[in-house]
Amino acid sequence: MTDDYTPPKVWSQKGQNGGQFASINKPTAGAQFDRDLPVGRHPLQLYSLATPNGQKVTIMLEELLEAGHDAEYDAWLIRIGDGDQFGSGFVAANPNSKIPAMMDHSVTPPRRVFESGSILVYLAERFGAFLPADPTARTEAMNWLFWQMGSAPFLGGGFGHFYAYAPVKIEYAIDRYTMEAKRQLDVLNRHLADNRFMAGEDYSIADMAIWPWYGQVVAGKLYGDAATFLDAGIYGNVRRWHDEIAARPAVQRGIMVNKTSGEPSEQLWERHDASDFQTRTQDKIGTD
């Protein structure tokens, strides 16, 4: 990095960009190889990885099952570091080549659903759950859902990337995105001072969308020691909200699905049946 860099008239790629994820970053879209997606026995087929965006959907599916809905699903592992998301089958499910993507085989032809927020709304409407019926509360849940979709890239692609993943530490970039991450946490902390959940007293898809990002960063679960760097202890209302949601059994299951890091007993690479949490975690079947 130099202080006298001047952008060219027309940008062109020079080598790999993206630090830890450089090998999968390109300025073009579309399939890079042919590979069909596997299909299991349930109507809902999820193709994902346990990033915060992926966890939103597995938490929702497990919450639906916990509440007694017929929402059984197959969850298939997409290893984004290996480029699985650029296979032709995945690109057909999501032309943006990002996890999560879902196919609903309960309809003909099967319906694709991509973008985590869209999947949450789709499932909430399909099962009539976790999206308040009252118009005011519903609007509040949607407000916060879309707040997350617009805000989290600053936390993840901005702060998380430059703080934890970039090949060089750039003070300006880290300061810029740290300021924005802390501003967003302050927004949440102020809101949660007067609200049990994001839409009031009702736990909703807004909580499921926000918790894996902002709850987890405050709890020290994202980007190494980011919680210390962000002085996360000052966001006590966010931490209270995180802890209440973290205690939910469906959340504890949901964050395990398609997880490939951490303790093997907390990793369930694929999920095809409720019994898999007891019989098919990686400490039981191996991690090869």
Dump pLDDT digits (tens) for 129-141. Answer: 999 999 999 999 9
pLDDT at 18: 60
The Cβ of residue 252 has, within 10 Å, a number of other Cβ atoms equal to 14
Gap between the Cα atoms of 258 and 51, Å rounded: 9
- Give me the mean pLDDT over the 207-211 stretch: 98
| pLDDT category of residue 4 using cuts at 50, 70 and 90 | confident
- Give me the mean pLDDT over the 77-87 stretch: 97
- Give me the mean pLDDT over the 2-24 stretch: 77
Percent of the chain past pLDDT 70, that is, above it, reads: 95
pLDDT at 78: 98
pLDDT at 1: 57
- Give me the mean pLDDT over the 65-71 stretch: 98
Structure letter (DSSP) for residue 60: H
| CA-to-CA dists, residue 12 to 17, 130, 208, angstroms | 11, 45, 39
Q: What structural domains does the chain harbor? A: 135-250 (1.20.1050.10)
CB-CB contact of 246 with 265 (8 Å): no
The answer, yes or no, to whether residue 15 has pLDDT greater than 80, is no
Four-CA torsion 124, 127, 130, 135, nearest 10 degrees: 70
Instruction: Return the biggest CA–CA distance within the chain.
Output: 61
pLDDT at 286: 75
CB-CB contact of 209 with 141 (8 Å): no
| pLDDT category of residue 20 using cuts at 50, 70 and 90 | low
pLDDT tens digits, 149-199: 999 999 999 999 999 999 999 999 999 999 999 999 999 999 999 999 999
The answer, yes or no, to whether residue 287 has pLDDT greater than 90, is no
| pLDDT category of residue 24 using cuts at 50, 70 and 90 | confident
Reported as type and span, the H/E element at residue 210 is helix 205-210
Cα 79–chain centre separation: 14
Q: What are phi and psi of 129, to 5 degrees?
A: -145, 150
Angle of CA points 23, 266, 101, to nearest 5°: 50
| pLDDT category of residue 118 using cuts at 50, 70 and 90 | very high
The answer, yes or no, to whether residue 17 has pLDDT greater than 70, is no
Mean pLDDT of the chain: 95
Q: What is the DSSP string of 131-193?
A: S-SSHHHHHHHHHHHHHHHHHHHIIIIIIIIIIII-SS--HHHHHHHHHHHHHHHHHHHHHHT
The answer, yes or no, to whether residue 46 has pLDDT greater than 70, is yes
CB-CB contact of 87 with 35 (8 Å): yes
pLDDT at 25: 83
